[in-house]
Structure 1
């Protein structure tokens, strides 16, 4: 490379390292040496111009077939284009040329990760760290792989190393905070999230994860305010584009308001308690846009004038609109002001009559749910479900408690049939094939003495009906149950929490529930009088 070309390359590299990728690329337009072409490819990758990146890589390889970095970047471009096997070949070629190229080992590990071959991925990520222990990218990827395998202690150390090596990298601090939260080291997690936000104030994931963390710690005012960032550009959700003004706390006397559900059924059942509070502010017409499965049940909420579909023409005929989970923020909810006027959902008489005498009830009747909704449409939600869900077989110690009549409340194409895997004499009665919506499920729960469930919508339904409910909670918990609450919940006074003491370990929880159920059964037995 000539002196002038070397100077041009150095200037472009400085621009690249400063994050000024478009300017760096523009300064490389006239270059045709392999080093410069590969840097142009890296700029294109940073700008998400995958096709251009691949073209620059091919030109670099033509100029120097043994340029390992060009092969590695080609693999990155091919992987981004969905050509995984071609990407793998590029990474392997890079490693043939430069066996100690840490980035190529890391990228090969990401290839294995994408295919679910986590053991192979771990081997590649470890090799990357051996090649360059000071590569923060390698530590990050190793941490991600450990997280997928549930090895949160190793993940935390990897992310801490990445954050130490790249202290200005907001993403490294964010990932460190997430691993710390998994280890229930909440104050340290909070500090890591705040560090990420100090470096990158618009880091949406850091805002939302910090919001959940603060809510779980009971710091609700700041938590609810941060949770509003879910609707910022790049956030997790997008509010409906109706043209109706979003309610920001304006006076509601004589106004019409439509409230939209968001996220899952459980969130809807938990936060619909705020709808009567809106009516109390003088709303003349209160509409609730919710899915069909909840419509009949939500019509029983005091103050709700109509439950409508998302595409209903009546949507536009309102003075204001609001998202359901923004209501805690709008009402300034704190730990001491959680609205807990229960029940706020009710069973309609027609549904009650329809389900009367359809259950084989005994002296002590308990509903069971052992798994949640897999939610395969969203990877992060599916990962949460895998942590909270069990199999029907794992409920056997509970099902063996004598004197209890068990009723299944389990729905799901793969989870409901698990009843057939249980011993015939221990199978709970299953009425769920005849259940069409949550109003039916509510009518069943109304006849029961207790519901035992993993953290699902049924937990919220039972709580909203003011029925006793025992909730099995994963180790790092969900923010809504408060991380340090012993057994109780401010949202549902009759709820009792049974928490994992080790990540992924349910046996002790099930044994604890079975013991508690035996005690509850004994307390219900009539006392025998001495003759």
Structure 2
């Protein structure tokens, strides 16, 4: 009951009481991992990284999405033991946004591994292969993509990418926040710039929904129709869809008066998307992997957030310690996107006018 009430309070944005009841639930039933996992989400959202990272390790037993799904690897998890003469396997978990956010730790990890006389083997998602290979793979001694557990490189210890903030005792002031830490293909960026060179208006990419299967997408999505209503009178802005598989929506938006182009059929990998983003002036997006990709390459990024956001965006601020080039536009109350779009439209018009 305490845990359920804590979650209800979290949905109601009563953060202090949500934390209090969830902590009470954990203390009353310390062997119930869901309480600790839920507590980690509240602490991370509120910027309490000292407790949040440690509690976040309960995700493999306590999270609805991850419970029981941790890969069974033939080797112990690394908890900071000496790596002299050892190989450490780094592997990715969860979604593309998580990989994009936390791959920034690879240079830090590699420096520590090599300082101790060890080797770093990194296995990651195939969809990110070219982008990670260009940007970060040089820090690892071995870089592989995909495959089953039996195809992983030989190793002595293993660690998940999302456990690195704990191992590095990350606080807000020590987040590796230098951008870009991912580099789009410069030739591909130049090719897109050449294709778009005739457009002199402010070039703005739009994302209006995350994955339809994500449990929080109904709250995060804004729908292309809101962009149409807000932006179709902006004469100094050219819009570009960043939403794959949305050709019918884009066609309807054009009919409704929004000047929006769609090249997403040419995007096969995240590397393709990164190059396209690099040719734009601004990305406007809901909370989805594009927000992380755009932030990671240092693109100017405006992120639209519902009132109960993913923990990475914290609370009550318009900037992000994770992505210096990002600005955050938050709902003031549940389901209220109108104030968000009022400010967004004003800021977009001002930015476009400043370039003329």
Tell me the TM-score normalized by structure 2: 0.91
Q: Secondary structure at the match of 1:278?
A: helix
Distance 1:417 1:268, change over 3 A: farther
Describe the superposition over 1:259-296 as per-residue Cα deviations: whole angstroms up to 9, x where unpaired: 22111111110011011111111345433322221111
**Stretch deviating more after TM superposition (507-516 or 353-362):** 353-362
1:443 equivalenced with 2:275 (yes/no): yes
Distance 1:468 1:257, change over 3 A: same
1:352 equivalenced with 2:186 (yes/no): no
Shift of 1:224: 0.5
* Structure 1: distance between partners of 2:122 and 2:187: 22
Long gaps (5+) in structure 2: none
In the other structure, the counterpart of 2:239 is 406
Bigger strand share = 2
Q: Contact 2:34–2:58 (CA<8 Å) still a contact in 1?
A: no
Long gaps (5+) in structure 1: 1-171, 376-381, 526-531
Q: Which has the higher contact order (CA 8 A, sep 6+)?
A: 2
In the other structure, the counterpart of 2:23 is 194
Shift of 1:374: 1.4
From 69, 77, 81, the counterpart of 1:246? 77
Q: Which runs of 4+ in 1 moved over 4 A?
A: none
How do 1:157-196 residues align onto structure 2 when only pairs under 5 Å count? 172-196=1-25
Q: Contact 2:34–2:63 (CA<8 Å) still a contact in 1?
A: no
From 97, 107, 113, the counterpart of 1:282? 113
* Structure 2: distance between partners of 1:333 and 1:454: 26
* Structure 2: distance between partners of 1:493 and 1:399: 29
**Matched positions, count:** 345
Shift of 1:480: 0.7
* Structure 1: distance between partners of 2:274 and 2:193: 12
Query: Rg larger in 1 or in 2?
Result: 1
From 23, 42, 45, the counterpart of 1:216? 45
Shift of 1:232: 3.4
Shift of 1:449: 1.3
Describe the superposition over 1:424-452 as per-residue Cα deviations: whole angstroms up to 9, x where unpaired: 45241111001001000000011111110
Tell me the TM-score normalized by structure 1: 0.62
In the other structure, the counterpart of 1:389 is 221
From 196, 204, 207, the counterpart of 1:366? 204
* Structure 1: distance between partners of 2:111 and 2:41: 28
* Structure 2: distance between partners of 1:307 and 1:398: 43
From 297, 304, 322, the counterpart of 1:465? 297
Describe the superposition over 1:182-215 as per-residue Cα deviations: whole angstroms up to 9, x where unpaired: 2221111001101111221122222111101101
Q: Secondary structure at the match of 1:466?
A: coil
Q: Secondary structure at the match of 1:461?
A: helix
**RMSD of aligned alpha carbons:** 2.0
Shift of 1:518: 0.8
